[in-house]
Every structure is written in structure tokens, then in C-alpha cells.
Amino acid sequence: MIKLTQINKKEALRYMGCTPDTVDEVLTTQVDKCEKELLDIIRPTYTHKIFLLERAENGILLSGTNLLLTGEAVKEHLSGCHSAIVMAVTLSGYADNYIRRAEISDMAQALIADCLCTAAVEQVCDIAEAEITASLPENSHTTWRFSPGYGDLPLEIQPNLLRVLNAEKLIGLTINDSLIMLPRKSVTALIGISDKPIENRRRGCAICNMRDTCNFRKRGNRCND
């Protein structure tokens, strides 16, 4: 389990659509209170496996599994990589329960909690990635995190991805028929591993499936600014 001592509140406020000039003392107090309560209850954790990659005509296969990664975006992302880290991260069901309770009594608090948890799960991803890559052989090079649903990598691979990680048993992470992960504040991702330096590759709005409806783009921002 990972222990967070603080949540990136600047990032959470950005998710809320707040600009520095709109953050007043009342909102700051609400965010601070919600952060403290969340840090007391969430139980961030992750699991991962490393798979050799097999190139196939219709995609990239994780060796020893039937998990096929399809689409041009992931093909480009993993170009030159011999292996991939497959990881799953969750804040635990305690985060979901907190947000649900807030939705009943205070929608403003629910929004704050939701955005704080979104920021927190990305922090946990960063910590998990750092721990995993630190254990790789010397001179290993890695890509950035690439998640199902990004570019043309379909969300439909999520159930199989969680199965190959044994995520339900190890970290309590499942997925429903609508392809929503439970707990909801969870992330899965792929990180390519190469023996050679990896050139900067496309990321961001150009290949994101959410580009047409993204609130960040509507405000002239990007989620990875």
C-alpha cells in the first residue's frame, strides 16, 4: 500500500475548472478539509506484471496471454520496445464511498472530493511507475503511461487486462459490463521497455478519444499541461 501525505490540490482545482483568481478563502478551506478527510481513509495500492511483446499481424500480443493490443496508437507507442509493464492502480473503495456520501448531502463537496481523488490516483500512478522502473535492469528505457481508451486502443481490453494482472484478488479491482472499473478511482496503463533510448512520441489531444468533448480543450488547456 502507498501512503499519500498530501494531494496535489493545484491539479484538483484545475480539474474543477478553477483559475487562480476564482479560488477564494471559502473554497480553499473546503478543499483543505476534504483533502484531510480523504487522506485519512483512502488505501492507495497497485499491482503490475512485465510481459515480453510479440508482434502479430493484427496487433501486439502480451507473451503468455491472450491479451492483444490493437490500434495504430499503441503500435507506435511500443515501437522499439521488447517488453511492457502492465499496471493497475486504485485508491480503494473508500474513495468511492466518500464521494457517494457527499453526493447525498453536499454536491459541492462531492465535486471537490471527485477532483481530489482524480489528482490523487495520478500521484499514485507516478509513485508506482517510479518504484517499478527502479527495479528494471540498468540502461532500461521506458515510455510514458498509455491507458486503454487512449488513441485507438479500445476500452474493451480492460476486462482481459485486469484478468492477466489478477487485479481482483490482489487489489480488489473489478470491472462491470459497462467497462467501468470498480473502485472507480482506478487506472490501468501500459509502459513500454526498450534497451535503447526512446524518441519522443505523440501524446495529448491529437490521438485522444476524448478530444471532441474534453472540457480542458474547451477552455484552451490540455490535461497534461
Q: How many CA atoms lie within 13 A of 1 on its CB side?
A: 10
| pLDDT at position 217 over 60 | no
Identify the pLDDT of residue 83: 98
Single pTM value for the model: 0.89
* Structural domains present in the chain: 9-214 (3.40.109.40)
Secondary structure letter of residue 155 according to DSSP = G
For 179, the 3-state DSSP assignment is coil
Q: How many CA atoms lie within 13 A of 157 on its CB side?
A: 26
Note the pLDDT tens digit of each residue in 30-43: 999 999 999 999 99
Handedness of CA 157, 158, 163, 165 (dihedral sign): positive
Note the pLDDT tens digit of each residue in 156-191: 999 999 999 999 999 999 999 999 999 999 999 999
